[in-house]
Amino acid sequence: MAEKQSGKTVVNRYILDKWVSIDPFVAGVVKELESDEEVRALLEMSNVNAVKRLGYNDHGPVHARIVAGSAIELMHLLLASKNPVQFSALSHGTARSINDVKLILLLASYLHDIGNAVHRHLHEAVSSILAKDIVDRFLVKFTEHTLHQRILLRLEVLSAIYSTALEVPALTLEASIIKLADGLDMSEGRARIPYKLGKIDMHSLSALNVKRVELSSSDTVPIIVSVYFGDMAGFFQVEKVLLPKLESGKLKGLVRVEVYDSVGKLVTSIF
């Protein structure tokens, strides 16, 4: 029997808008994140350091929105699976509802790179430190939990942020989703700023050759990541960025990565 696949969602700066428009809880959290002066300043300074001083790609609000939208998209793909997975925070009692899971994903994804505002070195650990007070504010506003329960949720968010480091294994499904969502932001727009600023290396050239990333599902695998290349030099991004993030998480067996060439022909599938 032929495999049935769902419609595809493009990973780009508009992916979060989809969930803001149909989920009032997501909309409320995103509105608060985007209007929070501390968050805005941290993301602005992250790009000052990452882009202007180091010549890296975007680590500011656009990247934050893409990762947040991708995280919520991945969550829904898993929930819609023929064999739905159990989120770690729910099964271990650190979360009480699916809205708690959404809050973990939104806060961790949106804040995961704010450590770049201090320095690129060990920025994931610094992000988890800087995020603590911000997360506490949001947990008071968006939950009615006891202090004890809010502390547990806070720690889930901070763990997910810290786990975005390539060498740090994700301990939960939620952290694994954030890690994968971070790796999905690799299409050509991500490389445009450093490339325009004159940084030409394998990272910028390969990112320029990733033309599109899409998310979908099928009746055999809950998450399909489709990566479309203008040139196979873009495979460097898959090999060195996406796959290591997938390998160090808990989504193995739940994700298939499909690589397409410049004419849309499937080159390889990676499980």
What band does 187 get if pLDDT is binned at 50, 70 and 90?
A: confident
Q: Alpha helix (H) ranges present in the chain? A: 15-22, 24-35, 37-47, 61-79, 88-91, 98-111, 123-142, 147-162, 173-184, 189-196, 202-208, 235-237, 243-247
Mean pLDDT of 162-167: 96
Of 157, 178, 193, the residue nearest 73 (C-alpha): 178
Q: What is the length of the chain?
A: 271
Q: Is the pLDDT at 190 greater than 50, yes or no?
A: yes
The tokens describing 246, both together, are: 């997938």
207, 199 in Cβ contact below 8 A? no
3, 218 in Cβ contact below 8 A? yes
d(CA 35, CA 19) in angstroms, rounded, equals: 18
Q: What percent of the chain has pLDDT over 90?
A: 79
Mean pLDDT of 29-40: 98
Report residue 43: phi and psi, to 5°: -70, -35
For the domain with range 9-270, which CATH number is right: 3.40.50, 1.10.3470, 1.10.1300, 1.10.287? 1.10.1300
The pLDDT, as a whole number, for residue 240 is 84
Q: Is the pLDDT at 153 greater than 50, yes or no?
A: yes
Full DSSP string of 215-263:
EE-BSS-SEEEEEEESSGGGHHHIIIIIHHHHHTSS-TTTEEEEEE-TT
The pLDDT, as a whole number, for residue 200 is 47
Beta 223-229 vs 255-260: how paired, if at all? Answer: parallel
- Residue-wise pLDDT tens digits, 64-74: 999 999 999 99
pTM of structure: 0.92
Report the range of poorest mean pLDDT among 2-11, 94-103, 168-177, 199-208.
199-208
What band does 2 get if pLDDT is binned at 50, 70 and 90?
A: low
Of 140, 89, 130, 91, the residue nearest 110 (C-alpha): 130
Longest dimension (CA), the chain: 55
**Residue 266 CB neighbours (<10 A):** 10
